Amino acid sequence: MTKLSVNVNKIATLRNSRGGDFPNVVKVACDIESFGAEGITIHPRPDERHIRYQDAYDLKKVVTTEFNIEGNPIPKFMEMVLAIRPTQVTLVPDAVDAVTSNAGWDTITHQSFLKEIITEFKLKGIRTSIFIDTNSKLIEAAATTGADRIELYTEEYATQFALGNKKAIEPFTKSALLATELGLGINAGHDLSLDNIQFFAENVPNLLEVSIGHALISESLYLGLENVVNMYKYRLSSK
């Protein structure tokens, strides 16, 4: 069954807006695990506008499911991940001023860099994943970096699905099949929601994990966090 990893960045955004420690990111992460999520994801940025680097160290002490840290492997990020040793590191080519992730890696241009970075992480026993678009050449190049998995960037699917275009799933189905042939595990994330997650999971073979934050936290404002976590789990298990 596909695992649900909940991104708690938005919890940190809410906390930071008042300058205190409420809601407490660590407590919310623990609660999310108790509600049934199989993982916790964070994506710290250099300016620490939501998740702070200290949050990563604090969460490491309490997360009992899979701990996934996403980000651009700048030196500060590398140092943190190598010290914490999360279950998984997801490499994302964020610009410093990016509001949110908006593109996957060019695994051809950055082949040598990714190989070097991934080697360091794997020496510490950290599973590695590369955030990537549905481009067969880039996926083939990703397989030569030593990465364990790819994370398919799903914004285009989510946008088109909302417009009624279910054919938008086709590049993701093909990418998953190719990745499986190449020995890569398959994760996915970005703009996945209660509306589009089940169709995605039904049509993307061998989907190991989805990472969902913005939509899940937003939906929880109406439906409640525990309820929404279980609604996602139901949709992921109904394929």
H helices within the chain, ranges in order?
9-16, 25-34, 53-60, 75-84, 111-123, 136-143, 155-162, 170-181, 197-203, 214-223, 225-237
Angle at 19 between CA 13 and CA 20, to 5 degrees: 100
What residues are labeled active site?
Answer: 43, 70, 190
Beta-carbon contacts of residue 142 (< 8 Å; ≥ 6 apart): 105, 107, 114, 130, 132, 150, 184
- Report the SS3 class of residue 98: coil
How many whole angstroms separate alpha carbon 69 and alpha carbon 7?
Answer: 9
